[in-house]
Structure 1
């Protein structure tokens, strides 16, 4: 089998496509012949050596990747699941950038109706993230004003779609004009193009009473204002810090990281109480022990796919040999939807 291995932190040259022996599924595992693997911004952070759960659960060397799609190759002993040859997609806690991957059976699902293999590979990480943020943490209700940053990106696209399913009024924010139509097509009620208009002045005009929920993975660039523009009882949900990371070069700028860390807002419980606002944050990679949540979330998401309420994410594919180009494109900030590696 082939898999991408990172032997130590660094830039794109650390991504090595190597030949390794085929893995054998153990009890309760399914071996998947991977045709496509989703690429997420978290994978870039893993490569830089800054992803804490990667250090905790794997260390070096590491194969990144949280999601794959392909066909069942084999079932482990005493394992129930789809028959060999069945098209499936799966979630993984790292290890997804490989042509064959062993996955716990409860993390493997039939290929969604109407999805290509690449679209399925790009589905679970972003939609599980969006579902947890909106329905578990923010507890959204119909009619709420919801502000979604990076609304044409992977998680942002999923947040827009799920926000509309929840009956919310969704305001999307994008960083380039070519992304406006993408966010509108996903269902955003209004889109703010911060490359040509003042983000917060327009955000205030669109929701003078403030936002019930703001979903922010930008970090220091927008966290403070996202909090300030919350309505009474509003919730700021944080799931990343992308603006602290480099747009090119593939290596963290340690001086910028330090300055941004110092500039990152700190939320005092007394202030939160007096402001009548909440700040919530999470990292999906720490939730893999919650089989109940995975089952609940995927049941809902797959049901909405069957009903035609969720559409496949736009996906740009790269052959596995071009994994460095995929990371470079994702970090550059110009991509729309999801990226996937093909094997």
Structure 2
């Protein structure tokens, strides 16, 4: 088998393709011949050396990647649900950038009937993130108003679809005009193009009383204003800080990151009490030790996909050998939907 290994923090040249022995499953595990690999912004953070769970649990060298789709090659002792030859989707604790992955059987899902195999490779991480955000961290009251930053990205698209499916009002924020047509197909109630419009003026016009939920992975550039635009009892969900990192060059700009860190707002618990608002941060990669939450994500998402109410997220396919191109594209902020490496 082959995999992409990162020996140390750095730019695109650190993405090395290496050959290694085929994988063998232990009891309760499944080996999959991978056909497609979903790319996530977290993979960029891993390469740059700023992803906390990668530093804490793996170190260097590391093979990034949280989601794959392919065909089952071998099953371990005790596995009865899955059979050799089945097309499946898997999510993994790193190690996804490879021609084979070995995962516990509980981390495998059927390919949704409306998805191609390559489209399926791009759904676990973003839909798990979106589901975990909306159903494990907050209580969504009927007809909640939800503002989603970066709504044309993978997680943003998943959040928009899950929220609309549940009957809520969704405002999707985009940073470039070419993303509007893409986002329209998922039915948000309003799209704000912050490259042409005043983001918060438009947000206030749609919901003068504020928002029940605001989903923000931008970081310091929008975080404080997001908090200010919550209703009483509203929740700010934070799961990234993309604005602290560069959009080109492939390296960590320490000055930019440092300035971003200094500008990141600090929330005083007493202010949260007085304002009756909440700020919730999470990182999906720390969820792997919480089997009850993982199993809930798996079972509920399978039900949702079987309903046929979720559309596949459009993908951009890039050959496995051109992984650097995939990282450049997602870093640029110009991509929409999902990027998938094809083997």
Alignment of 1:219-258 (within 5 A): 219-258=219-258
CA distance in 2 between counterparts of 1:107 and 1:33 reads: 15
Q: Corresponding residue for 2:160?
A: 160
Alignment of 1:1-343 (within 5 A): 1-343=1-343
Deviation at 1:181, TM superposition (A): 1.9
Deviation at 1:323, TM superposition (A): 0.2
Deviation at 1:81, TM superposition (A): 3.3
Deviation at 1:77, TM superposition (A): 2.5
Deviation at 1:166, TM superposition (A): 1.9
- 1:25-66 CA deviation, whole Å, 9 max, x = no partner? 111110000000110000000000100100111111100000
CA distance in 2 between counterparts of 1:31 and 1:56 reads: 25
Structure 1 window deviating more from structure 2 (331-340 vs 18-27): it is 18-27
Deviation at 1:298, TM superposition (A): 2.1
- The runs of 5 or more residues in structure 2 that have no matched partner are none
- The runs of 5 or more residues in structure 1 that have no matched partner are none
CA distance in 2 between counterparts of 1:138 and 1:152 reads: 22
Are 1:75 and 1:81, in contact at CA under 8 Å, matched by a contact in 2? no
Are 2:44 and 2:327, in contact at CA under 8 Å, matched by a contact in 1? yes
Deviation at 1:311, TM superposition (A): 0.9
Structure 1 window deviating more from structure 2 (66-75 vs 174-183): it is 174-183
CA distance in 1 between counterparts of 2:227 and 2:73 reads: 48
CA distance in 2 between counterparts of 1:254 and 1:185 reads: 38
- 1:151-191 CA deviation, whole Å, 9 max, x = no partner? 11000000000111221100000001111122221110000
Secondary structure at the aligned position of 2:226 is classed as helix
Secondary structure at the aligned position of 1:288 is classed as helix
Deviation at 1:247, TM superposition (A): 0.1
Secondary structure at the aligned position of 1:247 is classed as coil
> Which 4+ residue blocks in structure 1 deviate beyond 3 angstroms?
none
Deviation at 1:207, TM superposition (A): 0.7
CA distance in 1 between counterparts of 2:81 and 2:306 reads: 21
Are 1:17 and 1:320, in contact at CA under 8 Å, matched by a contact in 2? no
CA distance in 1 between counterparts of 2:323 and 2:183 reads: 26
Structure 1 window deviating more from structure 2 (175-184 vs 41-50): it is 175-184
Deviation at 1:138, TM superposition (A): 2.3
CA distance in 2 between counterparts of 1:140 and 1:281 reads: 17
